[in-house]
Amino acid sequence: MMRLKVFNTLALLFVPMALLAQFKISGKVLSQESQKPVQNCIVYLNEGAQLVDLNSRGEFVFENLKNGTYTLHFTSESYKYKNLEVQLNGKNESVTIYLETQEQELGEAVITESGVDFGLARMRGIENMGLYEGKKSEVIIPENMTANLATNNARQVYSKVAGLNIWENDGAGIQLSIGGRGLDPNRTSNFNTRQNGYDISADALGYPESYYTPPMEAIGKIQIVRGAASLQYGTQFGGLINFVMKQPVEDKKFEFLTRQTGGSFGFYNGFFSGSGTVDKLSYYAFYQFKRGDGWRPNSEFENHNAYLNLNYQISEKTKIGIDVTKMNYLAQQPGGLSDDMFDENPRQSNRERNWFYVDWNLWALHLDHQFDVSNSVNLRFFGLDAKRYSVGFRPNRVATIDDGSERDLIKGEFQNWGAEARYLHRYQIGGMQSIGLVGTRYYHGFNHSRQGFGSTGSDADFEYIAGEENIFYDYRFPNRNGSVFIENILYVNEKFSITPGLRFEKIKTTADGYYGNVYRDLAGNIIEFDRQEEFRVSSRQFVIGGIGFSFKPNTKWEAYANASQNYRSITFSDMRISNPSSVIDQNLEDEKGYSIDMGIRSEKAGNFNYDLSLFLLNYNNRIGEVQFYDESNRVLRKRTNIGQALIRGLEFYGEWKFTDLILPKSDFWNMSIFSNVALIDSQYKKSEVVGVKGNRVEFVPTINFKAGAAVMYKKWRSSLQYAYLSEQFTDATNATSGGVSAVVGVIRPYGVLDFSTSYSWSKFKLEGSINNLANAAYFTRRATGYPGPGILPSDGRGFYLTFQYKL
């Protein structure tokens, strides 16, 4: 009987019911400049209860409407936002809408959407075959920001997203490392990281580290959805980060853009892109070359990045496309520092033979089909063929001078592929629109990981020394993952909606290989090689759920809340690692927990944009590292389940455009200030590890504060940004001293100031920026392995100049 009640409840939430109304609103959307149909545009009614995409002829239709007044909203990346009020009074209505492009030249002034927008938006309730009603989300639009895009400066780009903890690995932004709410920022491994909706990390579950980050100059927008994204995109505690690349230009056959940047420390960035639409075929492509010498010695790098997107409109309802991405880079790594070395001179380096190489190859196929205005389907097939190699001298004592002996060589090779299908259905219950989303996913991952002795040379040589005994770690990690998910927005009325969801996961991870210990005599000669074969399989399946609520009493603000279960499986590095200073707990278990968000935020509220929220993250079986002494009285680190971590806090973002207050009649000035702050309390509530219960959780600064100001006058724009993070720990024991390895200890409080400016005229644009304006000496990370170990100092003051030309 209980099962029947549960089934009936789920049926009420997810099974469509249709109640017909009487009339419809239809229309056509055209470009004001070219008079051609607009395609990439979303049209929705009132507060978003009904939403449709345009067909290839720029047409839309809303059916089954009752008599009354409706507001049509038109939003697009390429065109300015517009709305129109339509009255239904006993008959159907048809309208024609003309949209202006985002940028147009009017005499002396260049007016862009960014002059009106805040540069930080939020996900619509239904967007790109995804449901986001009642979830904490942010959308960053890089083109609307005055920031250093050439260096992918994450500190500036993500400055308006509250609570993010950013590790600065290099001054060129080749790799992105962000976390939040106590989640390890290392290579953004606690977020599900995607590009155009498909995975780009090494292995989404087995090794979710992102060695590839798209260049900001090629990104249309960055979508961030916090922990509730686990129901649609995977099980990570952090949520989703999706890099949406720029879309093909619709009203031109060919558009060319080049950006040339030079800067401090031998930095050069060349970016070239082409875009256009020819009949039913559209395309966007770019090539980027980036190099530099680095702020510290032994920090040179060279990076190549290329991308191609092709789309073909088979019919007005069906579209196919392909993405191809190629990225590789070679970087010299200066190694980490001890606390004493950092205090003495943060720019020093005692490592000349450490190198890192990455080759990343991504492909994706997608098919979008709209059966009718109520039913759409999206299919994606994607794959990755990649490798990451690192070689270097990395003893536990970071102050040790390189003796020229064999280097430690680690190779990781990844061959992954997957498929994901989504079906979106719009229907009505009681005269109100509801939207259901059902999806399924299969992921097939494979990683071959080896470690051994590399050459005694100083160049980027990634070949092992001959001999079986010189490879002391060789594993294959097959990974299989299947999932099914369902979410449904139920609009109770025009103001209130409920979004329940479920996700079923089946995961199988395998470790198959051997590890060994090498013993040497006093002269350094190998006298014994102890090899241990190992085969481990872990299979599990589970269901996680969540629910969200949204209340929009008017067009100015929204109250939202959601709760979602989260899950994180143990990774390849959790199952087996070969590091002289680390050991793995053989009884390591997956991490489980839940996240809760609730808050209020503005809704197209004029001159003030804000989001104030409270959150709670309950993290069971949290995996972390603690220091201990072995039988030889050596200090080692053990990776184990630390215990239950509880992280709670307040996050606030606010931005105020105050131009009208100072210059109410000015058409040329635009001024704004913003601030975001995260106040976080974290604590280990339970732990079997001695001395951990009651400690603060690692990677959680109590205060995370960012603020800035922007000014625009005609063609000139400038911004000033400041970031401050309070003290944070790097391990569960809350060690304050880094010791000889400096891999644990406090990350000291730091503050950083950045300045950027730009000037546009005709087809040209000139940008300038000063990173770390006050030349602060600080660090954001203590690395346990590569590119350390030890403290990794952040870059000092740097100057950059960019020249842009668009044809």
SS3 labels along 186-219 = HHHCCCEEEECCEECCCECCCECCCCCCCCHHHE
d(CA 235, CA 209): 15
CB atoms within 10 A of CB 111: 19
Q: Tell me, what amino acid is at 613?
A: S
Structural domains in the chain?
A: 1-101 (2.60.40.10), 240-806 (2.40.170.20)
Residue whose C-alpha is closest to residue 635's, from 532, 740, 537 = 740
CA distances from 804 to 141, 261, 270, 760 (A): 18, 9, 10, 9
Q: What is the mean pLDDT of the chain?
A: 87
Residue whose C-alpha is closest to residue 565's, from 591, 546, 585 = 546
Backbone angles phi and psi of 544, in degrees to 5: -120, 155
- Is there a cis peptide before residue 478, judged by omega within 30 degrees of 0? no
Check residue 1 and give its pLDDT.
Answer: 47
Strand 318-332 relative to strand 301-313: parallel, antiparallel, unpaired? antiparallel
CA distances from 757 to 127, 721, 801 (A): 33, 12, 10
d(CA 795, CA 294): 8
Check residue 374 and give its pLDDT.
Answer: 82
- Is there a cis peptide before residue 787, judged by omega within 30 degrees of 0? yes
Residues of the chain with pLDDT under 70: 1-21, 47-51, 53, 77-78, 102-119, 431, 518-527, 573-582, 604-605, 628-636
∠ at Cα 780 (774, 781), nearest 5°? 150
Is residue 389 within 8 Å of residue 356, measured between CB atoms? yes
Residue whose C-alpha is closest to residue 392's, from 406, 371, 375 = 406
SS (H, E, C) 68-80: EEEEEEEECCCEC
Check residue 753 and give its pLDDT.
Answer: 97
Check residue 236 and give its pLDDT.
Answer: 85
Residue whose C-alpha is closest to residue 620's, from 537, 528, 685, 693 = 685
d(CA 213, CA 105): 33
d(CA 506, CA 485): 12
Check residue 522 and give its pLDDT.
Answer: 60
Strand 764-771 relative to strand 103-106: parallel, antiparallel, unpaired? unpaired
Strand partners, 447: 414, 477
Is residue 688 within 8 Å of residue 643, measured between CB atoms? yes
Check residue 526 and give its pLDDT.
Answer: 64
Is residue 643 within 8 Å of residue 685, measured between CB atoms? yes
Residue that the structure tokens 């205090």 belong to: 343
CB atoms within 10 A of CB 319: 20
Q: Tell me, what amino acid is at 117?
A: D
d(CA 736, CA 724): 20
Percent helix, strand and coil across the chain, each to the nearest 5: 5, 55, 35
Check residue 258 and give its pLDDT.
Answer: 97
Q: Which residues contact 426 (CB under 8 A, 6 or more apart)?
A: 50, 51, 373, 374, 375, 433, 434, 435
Give the torsion sign (CA, 142, 144, 149, 152): negative
Check residue 222 and give its pLDDT.
Answer: 94
CA distances from 120 to 117, 267, 419, 566, 767 (A): 8, 29, 31, 26, 21
CA distances from 179 to 50, 599, 747 (A): 34, 21, 15
Q: Tell me, what amino acid is at 124?
A: R
Is residue 396 within 8 Å of residue 230, measured between CB atoms? no
Q: Which residues contact 344 (CB under 8 A, 6 or more apart)?
A: none
∠ at Cα 373 (61, 602), nearest 5°? 75
Which H/E stretch holds residue 22?
none
